């Protein structure tokens, strides 16, 4: 029994520290990196990278090792990209990023569900919050530009003007959104809070 105890204790320490190491992601800064580019590459908030690493500013040093916040699952990233694709086809790239930001702002807002999936599939007053869920276009694969816009929206998370709504005034059938405080217009979409 004593021999088994001495064998199991180091084994337990090995697994304990191995799991901890695998659970946290680290990025080593290279020439040309910025918090923004790292955030887009990993699909994480640059503001969270800064906070997690106790950085008072956005300056980076080559060779610096940055802890990265947890990223969303591949499934949620794909769902966000598909929503962007179906909601913002034909819109400028900035509008695609802004659509993704609306979803993330809702996740952060106590009045809405806590996950990307739950926000996208939310039913409000008997209607889906996003029309692509109703018409099925949410199932279409996202174009590369929409995938990049999703990662960029994640990097942008926690910044901006707090938009939690968007609509196209030319095609909207419900004009309730027009009663909200407009934050910006991009392409055919009006963003509001």
> What is the structure's pLDDT at 173?
72
Q: Is the pLDDT of residue 153 over 70?
A: yes
Claim to verify: residue 32 and residue 113 sit in the same structural domain: no
Alpha-carbon span 180 to 183, nearest angstrom? 9
Answer whether residue 56 is part of any domain: yes
Task: Encode 26-40: b = buried (16+ Cβ within 10 Å), e = exposed.
Answer: ebebeeebebeebbb
> Is the confidence at residue 6, as pLDDT, over 60?
no
Over range 57-68, report the average pLDDT: 96
Domain of residue 63, CATH code: 3.10.350.10
Kindly report, residue by residue over 89-146, the tens digit of the pLDDT: 999 999 999 999 999 999 999 999 999 999 999 998 898 999 999 999 999 999 999 9
Both 157 and 174 in a single domain?
yes
Q: Is residue 21 part of a domain?
A: no
In this structure, what are the phi and psi dihedrals at residue 186, rounded to the nearest 5 degrees? -135, 120
pTM, two decimals, is 0.80
- pLDDT attached to residue 108: 94
pLDDT reading at 7 higher than 80: no
Distance between CA atoms of residues 178 and 155, nearest Å: 28
Res 16: pLDDT: 36
| Residue range of the domain that includes 146 | 74-192
Tell me the average pLDDT of the chain. Answer: 86
Please check the confidence at residue 83 and state whether its pLDDT lies above 90.
yes
- Provide the pLDDT for residue 81: 98
Would you say residue 16 lies in a domain? no
């Amino acid at each position: 029994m004593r021999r088994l105890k001495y064998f199991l204790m180091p084994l337990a320490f090995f697994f304990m520290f191995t799991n901890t190491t695998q659970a946290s992601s680290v990025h080593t800064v290279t020439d040309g990196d910025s918090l923004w580019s790292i955030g887009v590459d990993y699909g994480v908030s640059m503001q969270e990278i800064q906070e997690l690493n106790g950085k008072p500013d956005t300056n980076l040093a080559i060779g610096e090792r940055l802890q990265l916040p947890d990223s969303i699952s591949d499934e949620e990233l794909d769902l966000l990209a598909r929503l962007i694709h179906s909601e913002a086809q034909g819109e400028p790239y900035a509008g695609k990023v802004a659509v993704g930001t609306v979803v993330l702002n809702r996740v952060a807002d106590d009045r809405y569900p806590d996950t990307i999936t739950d926000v996208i599939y939310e039913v409000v007053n008997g209607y889906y919050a996003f029309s692509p869920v109703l018409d099925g276009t949410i199932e279409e694969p996202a174009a590369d530009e929409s995938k990049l816009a999703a990662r960029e929206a994640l990097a942008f998370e926690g910044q901006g003007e707090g938009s939690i709504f968007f609509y196209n005034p030319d095609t909207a059938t419900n004009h309730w959104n027009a009663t909200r405080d407009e934050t910006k217009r991009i392409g055919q979409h009006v963003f509001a809070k």
